[in-house]
Amino acid sequence: MIVFPQKSAPAEFPAHSYRRGWRVQSGRVSVALVCLVTIYAAIFLSGCSHTSPMVLPENTQSISIPLVINQTLEYGAEERVTDILIQEFLRDGRLRVVSPDRADLLMQATLTRYDLRPISFNERQEGVSFRLESAMKVSLRNLRTGQFLFENEEFTENGVFFLSNRPGEQREEQIFTRMAESIISRFMEGW
């Protein structure tokens, strides 16, 4: 229990129970402090000990990624998304990307949203920075058993980018890369 400071220590409280002008009743504060530390430690350690389940079947070594289906009006987005998905699986290295006839898994993806809006303009009222919101539905099928491990699971990503004068730089590359990383994380680690 904490009580506002008094000018002098009353006789019923020993001098050592005063700390910097606050009267602290011995025992109660230390028990409360130990309880709080124990609760925080339990919460922190429970988060650290979390293990995610392995999503893929054992002995899975390869995946096939056919061209993404594009249900948006963005021309060529399906090729760019497919390329980024393949690059990210290759970079991750846990599964080989192969043709469907040699694959253990088949990933089918559909780009369902590509919403590009300008959010800032220059003096000629031309967009100079944009917000892109994109969504994809992804299914993962085990080609050995024919069963779906995931079916039409939705992944969304959004971000802001500025126009670039560098040739070959695609405006949505970072956004699609983050989406591909989320897909890999979900398939490989379960979250």
CATH number at residue 183: 3.30.160.150
pLDDT at residue 50, rounded to an integer:
42
Residues 145 and 179 in one domain: yes
Question: Is 102 within a domain?
Answer: yes
Number of domain units in the chain: 2
Q: How many CB atoms lie within 10 A of CB 51?
A: 7
pLDDT at residue 92, rounded to an integer:
94
By residue range, what is the domain housing residue 160?
Answer: 62-189
pLDDT at residue 48, rounded to an integer:
45
Distance of alpha carbon 111 from alpha carbon 82, whole angstroms? 10
Residues 12 and 69 in one domain: no
Residues 88 and 180 in one domain: yes
Residues 76 and 157 in one domain: yes
Distance of alpha carbon 97 from alpha carbon 89, whole angstroms? 7
Tell me the average confidence (pLDDT) per consecutive run of 10 residues in the chain, 191 residues long: 53 52 53 57 48 67 96 94 96 94 96 93 88 95 93 93 62 88 88 63
Residues 11 and 78 in one domain: no
Question: Is 9 within a domain?
Answer: yes
Residues 91 and 128 in one domain: yes
Residues 128 and 182 in one domain: yes
Distance of alpha carbon 48 from alpha carbon 150, whole angstroms? 27
pLDDT at residue 47, rounded to an integer:
47
Residues 137 and 88 in one domain: yes
Residue 176, amino acid: F
Residues 88 and 116 in one domain: yes
Distance of alpha carbon 25 from alpha carbon 101, whole angstroms? 75
- pTM, two decimals, is 0.67
pLDDT at residue 191, rounded to an integer:
63
pLDDT at residue 168, rounded to an integer:
46
Distance of alpha carbon 88 from alpha carbon 95, whole angstroms? 11
Residues 33 and 73 in one domain: no
Residues 68 and 150 in one domain: yes
Question: Is 152 within a domain?
Answer: yes
Question: Is 57 within a domain?
Answer: no
Distance of alpha carbon 179 from alpha carbon 188, whole angstroms? 14
Residues 42 and 133 in one domain: no
